[in-house]
Each structure stands twice: as C-alpha cells, then as structure tokens.
Amino acid sequence: MQIYRHTSKALNILLSREERLVYALCREEISDVLLAERTHLPLDVLKGILASLLEYGLIETVAGTQGTPSIKPEESDPLAPVKAQLLAALEAELGTKAEKYRSEIEQKQSLAELEEWSLKLVLKLRLTISQKAAEALEARLKTLFT
C-alpha cells in the first residue's frame, strides 16, 4: 500500500476526468487502496493514473507499506500480520497521528483483544477526531476481523 498527497506544483496541465478525480482526492494524504475504493476504478487503471500524476509532479508518495511493514513481524507473534494491517489502516485514515497507537497495538495478546480495542478506537475517533475517519476505519475493520 502506498500513501499519496498533492505537491506544491501548480496544476497547469489538462487532466482527464479520472486523473482530476484522483488528483482532487489527494488533497489530503490517502492510500491507493482507499483511492480505488472511492473512485471505483480498477486497481491497474488507478496505478496508471497515479504513475502519470507522479510523473507530472502533481502528487508525491508520502509512505509505502508494501515492502516494509510498519510493524516488524516477529516469529513469536502470530498476530503480527493483523497488527501490521491494522496499523496500515490507521495510517491511511489518520496519517501521522496513527503512530501514537502503535504501542497499544503491539501490546495486544489475542485477536479478540485487538478487535475490542479497535472498535473502542473507532468510537473514540467518532466522538473526538473525525466522523469520516471513524467510518472509513470501521469499514476496514470489518474486512480485517471477519
């Protein structure tokens, strides 16, 4: 997963309808997975658009979790892949604010404990930070824990 955002370069070229849509969604940091979800574009088409916008210098890659997971999986922790996916989802929705939850995620010892904590976090986000981020995170959690 890659995370993208606008650069400071002025938009002085003509973009296709899909390119404009993706460019507009990159005003805030956003992952390629979330872009595909919001635009309903096939992933290969989206990757081509992102490559074009990167080439034009209109967007930049902020972070990537594809080759380097945010949480280093340890052989002794069978939950490591789930924890990494959860942290990636948080980073996609909250950006740098997700880092403060890393230690809490790493402390969880069971899948049930991790799921319960995640649902409480969604409620906390809904009440304090962002209704939109809470809804997006809740949708991601459903796919993660089902």
**Which pLDDT tens digit goes with each residue over 118-141?**
888 888 888 887 788 788 888 888
For residue range 1-14, list pLDDT tens digits in order: 788 999 988 888 88
Mean pLDDT of 76-105: 80
Percentage of the chain exceeding pLDDT 70: 90
Q: What token pair was written down for 118?
A: 């995640």
Q: What is the pLDDT of residue 77?
A: 64
pLDDT of 64: 66
Q: What is the mean pLDDT of residues 71-82?
A: 59
pLDDT at 131: 84
DSSP per residue, 28-80: S-EEHHHHHHHH---HHHHHHHHHHHHHHTSEEEEEE-SSS-SS---TT-TTH
